[in-house]
Amino acid sequence: MRAYVPSYDLRVPKLLSEALALLAQEPGVWRPFAGGTDLMVLLEAGKLDHRKFFSLAKIDDLRGIEVANDSAVIGALTTYSEILKNPALREEFPLLCAAARETGSVATQNRGTLGGNIVNASPAADSPPALLVYDAEVELISQRRVHWVPYHGFHTGYKKMLISQEELLRSVRLPRRFQSWRQYYRKVGTRKAQAISKVCFAGTALMQRGAIGDVRIALGSVAPIPLRAVETEDALRGKSITPASITIAKEVLAREIVPIDDIRSTARYRLRVAQNLLEEFLTLLAK
Amino acid sequence: MNGEPRRVTAYPVSRLLDVLREEMHLTGTKEGCGEGECGACAVLLNGAIVTSCLVPAIEAEGAEIRTIEGIADSAQLSAVQEAFLECGGAQCGMCTPGMVIAATALLERHPHPNDAEIRDGLAGNLCRCTGYQKIFAAVVRAYESCEAAAATKPGAQ
């Protein structure tokens, strides 16, 4: 059943300080509303239980992409379209841009935000695997403090995160050390456009004398959280790419992921595809 | 709103789609899925294509909005609309306003789109009648006619 719209509140603070004051005064009562591409769907379906929100739309402090010497900092309210238009991100962080391009349609990319994609905390979200392999950090801000936490570890369980009810996610920081790494991103969904992923895979690797010097692998839709596959990475680090090392890595990955049956796919299909994507990534590295 | 200031009263999370249709009586914008998947409710919000079912009314306050009613220049159809007519790009018509908005937005970003850009630009708009080929043809016709018109303008080389 559709939601009863008058029962919802959506305030529009103009300053970050006003938003933080709302969060501090009544923790848990007010929740942020970013691009709305998830919340408005829940609202229309009558499944948006929370009633009081504040829009981030007017808070310019949350927007923008700044590229410094050693890192790129992306404001939480940056849309996918803004990510795609940024030459520095396109050059150095192609997996994030691939994720942005594969998220919904142009209309969704114009509204959906990077911060929203993170704190909505869907295990099927497209950008988290890219952020995980780039060693992203997220900036959390409240009236009391500002601090950075590694994005790997930020999601602690299904829809659970290391963010308190008083905090906002302000920005995402990506270290600029992946230029010479090989990069791979692939999303498998029901159709090419608009689909929510059945499995999505991001991988980066630093090749040294034909072997894997260092590697990062992360997947979406194979666990209750966006998953960094650290055990699979450990199995590959220092190895050259051979049929034997590929087979071992696929076995480790199978033990590391916990895919489920749901409306979009089956656990069995997801396991098979995740292993195939790993093999495709490794085969490309060997070339 | 389509070049004119408009004042309406709405709840903050009322969908822009409902405000357009029910308060402003701009019923050219259609509701398909109501969850941002089909593109029937697409409008231009500050020049960018959005699905109006996912935009809360309060975020449209002070914005420039163009709906399908604002695409034609009074009695003169836009090049995209003409091309849809010529190519048979519409059948039942439910997706057509959103398709025209998406094609208009696409040609503003890419005045001469290749096939991949056309598919990408229209990927958010579902059509259950045409099989899409005539719609893609209409987009090609639209930019060709724009280029032809530009070439025949006095002073053009």
Residue B28 belongs to some domain of the structure: yes
A 10 A CB-CB count for B111 gives 11
Determine, for residues A36 and B55 on separate chains, whether the beta-carbon distance falls below 8 Å: yes
Count up the domains in chain A and report the number.
3
Three-state SS for B55? Answer: coil
What 3-state class would DSSP assign to B137?
Answer: helix
The residue among A141, A175, A209 that closes a domain is A175
Residue B92 identity (one-letter amino acid) = C
Same domain? B84 vs B145: yes
Residue A222: alpha-carbon gap to chain centroid: 14
Same domain, A227 and A276: yes
Phi, psi of A83 (to 5 degrees): -60, -45
* Residue among B12, B35, B121 minimizing CB distance to A10: B12
| Tokens, residue B30 | 């259609």
Average pLDDT of chain B is 94
- Reported ipTM: 0.95
Residues B51 and B92 in one domain: no
| Residue B17 near residue B30, CB atoms below 8 Å | no
Mark whether A32 and A119 lie in a shared domain: no
The residue from A175, A200, A219 where one domain ends is A175
* A155-184 pLDDT per residue, tens: 999 999 999 999 999 999 999 999 999 999
Nearest CB to B124 within list A53, A81, A104: A104
A36: nearest CA partner in chain B: B54
pLDDT tens string A39-55: 999 999 999 999 999 99
**Per residue in B77-123, pLDDT tens?**
999 999 999 999 999 999 999 999 999 999 999 999 999 999 999 99
Instruction: Note down the domain range covering A17.
Output: 5-55
pLDDT along chain B (157 residues), means of 10: 96 97 98 95 98 97 97 92 96 97 97 95 95 96 90 67
> CA B12 to CA A264: how far, in whole Å?
33
Helix (H, G, I), strand (E, B) or coil at A112: coil
| B16 and chain A in contact, CB less than 8 A | no
* A133 CB-side CA count, 13 A: 34
* DSSP secondary structure, A211-257, as one string: EEEEEEEEEESSSSS-EE-HHHHHHHTT-B--HHHHHHHHHHHHHH-
Flag whether B110 is in a domain. yes
Q: Do B98 and B48 reside in the same domain of the chain?
A: no
B146 sits in which H/E element: helix B133-152
Tell me what pLDDT residue A2 has: 82
The DSSP code for A195 is: P
Tokens of B33: 């899925």
Same domain, A44 and A127: no
In a domain, residue B120? The reply is yes
